[in-house]
Structure formats: C-alpha cells, structure tokens
Amino acid sequence: MSDIIYEPLKKVSIIVSRGSLDGIYPGLIMANGARMEGIEATLFFTFFGLDAIINKRMDKIKVATVGNPGMHMPTFLGAIPGMSAFTTGMMKKEMEKIDIPPIREFIEMVNDAGAELYACKASVDMFHLKKDDFCPQVKDIISVGKFYELSAGAQIIFT
C-alpha cells in the first residue's frame, strides 16, 4: 500500500484547437464534467477551434473524414462528395440518442455552469475576426500569456 496522498483536482484549462466535431466535443464534454464535479474550468479556443464559438460557423461544424484515422476508412473514401455531411449526420443522430446537445447549446450549458470561454488573440488577429463575430458566452479575447496567468494552478488539457 502506498502512502501517496493525491490532492483532488480543483482547476482545468482546456485548449480547443480543431474545428471539427471530433475536435470540439471532447473539450466541451470535459469542461462540463469538470463543472459537474465542482472543478473550475476554462476553455481557450485557438486556430480552427475558434469555429466552435464563431456565431456564423458554430452550427455548421462537421466531422473531418479526410485523413482522420479514427474513421477507419481509406482517405480517398473520406474525400467522396457528401461523405463528410453523411458522416456528420450519422454522428449527430448518435449524440442526440445519448443527450449530447448541439455545439451552440452545449456552449451555453457549460457557460451557465460557470466555465469561462476565451478566444486566442493571435488566432483572432490572424483570421481578421472581431469580438462581435463570437457567441455572447465568450468572455474575452486573450493572449497566450493571459491564458497562462488564468491557468495558474490548473491542469492544462489539449484536446
């Protein structure tokens, strides 16, 4: 028997960098789970992960079928026109069966539960975006330095 004492996790900072369903949902699920356990949660959206919080894009997120080894199919099949839409539709139906909400609703839910959402300033500048391009749950557009400051004492998770 070990004498190691583990401290309970108190804070997580989750980085969402991919703009596909399989890139966005893990961060939202982890943030929601953290809040349900009383763990402080921060979400930092960067690069294509910004699509999850951009008003015009967040309802149109698809599954990445090309070059996605998790699809268990040859890349050329993923490139067939309509394959991404078909796969996305199938995945959304399965998620609905187990009560996983659409991205917009999930973002509202984690925000209402107390998670804080931030957009990466470098990515926002690179893509020529503005604060009003984002859903209202985005608290601010911050630098990586500010993200690290907010993440002091947190476990940082990259999804």
The pLDDT tens digits for 91-118 are 788 888 988 999 999 999 999 999 999 9
Residues 120, 46 contacting (CB under 8 angstroms) = yes
The pLDDT tens digits for 43-88 are 999 999 999 999 999 999 988 766 666 666 666 666 667 777 777 7
pLDDT of residue 94: 85
Model pTM? Answer: 0.88
CA triple 68-69-70, angle to 5 deg: 90
Residues of the chain with pLDDT > 90, as a percent, come to 70
Strands (E), 68-115: none
CB atoms under 10 Å from CB of 108, counted, come to: 15
Strand order in the sheet with 155-158: 138-142, 116-120, 40-45, 11-16, 155-158
Average the pLDDT over each of 28-32, 38-42, 60-64 and give the range with the smallest value: 60-64
pLDDT of residue 67: 62
Tell me the C-alpha to C-alpha distance, in Å, between residue 78 and each of 88, 127, 157.
12, 27, 29
Fold of 12-158: Hypothetical Protein Ychn; Chain: A, (3.40.1260)
